[in-house]
């Protein structure tokens, strides 16, 4: 089946630093990937849609200058949390859908736990 990986799985950083999270589709090409954020005991909330070769589309309330998304190839999207603060601590999950697949089935990465001290 389609596999999506994320790196790192866990990161702890100091307030004010930037953190980059990678999302890779390992055995398929994804023109579109999605970035979600999940706070404890809450559901996944869409942050942005990452489009290969073009600018990402951000959801309302998500700062595009703070959460930089780069989709440089058909298998890689990166999310950079710039000037991270403790309130950015969360579980970040990416997903990708198979091009041409039916029903919009999505494959999720294992997630990245970000802790900002």
In sign, the C-alpha dihedral spanning 84, 75, 103, 2 is: negative
CB of 117 to another protein, least distance (A): 19
Instruction: Give the residue, chosen from 62, 68, 108, 115, that forms a contact with another protein under the rule CB under 8 A.
Output: 108
Instruction: Give the residue, chosen from 17, 42, 73, 83, that forms a contact with another protein under the rule CB under 8 A.
Output: 42
Q: Is 75 in the site for another protein (CB under 8 A)?
A: no
66: nearest Cα among 88, 49, 51: 88
Q: Is 60 in the site for another protein (CB under 8 A)?
A: no
CB of 65 to another protein, least distance (A): 21
CB within 8 A of 56, min separation 6: which ones? 48, 49, 50, 64, 69, 71
């Amino acid at each position: 089946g389609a596999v999506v990986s994320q790196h790192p799985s866990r990161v702890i950083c100091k307030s004010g630093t930037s953190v980059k999270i990678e999302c890779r589709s390992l055995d398929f090409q994804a023109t579109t990937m999605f970035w979600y954020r999940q706070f404890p005991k809450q559901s996944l909330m869409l942050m942005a849609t990452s489009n290969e070769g073009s600018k990402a589309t951000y959801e309302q309330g998500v700062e595009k200058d703070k959460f930089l998304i780069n989709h440089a190839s058909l298998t890689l999207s990166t999310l950079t949390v710039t000037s991270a603060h403790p309130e950015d601590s969360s579980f970040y999950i990416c997903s990708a859908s198979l091009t041409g697949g039916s029903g919009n089935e999505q494959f999720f990465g294992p997630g990245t736990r970000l802790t900002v001290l």
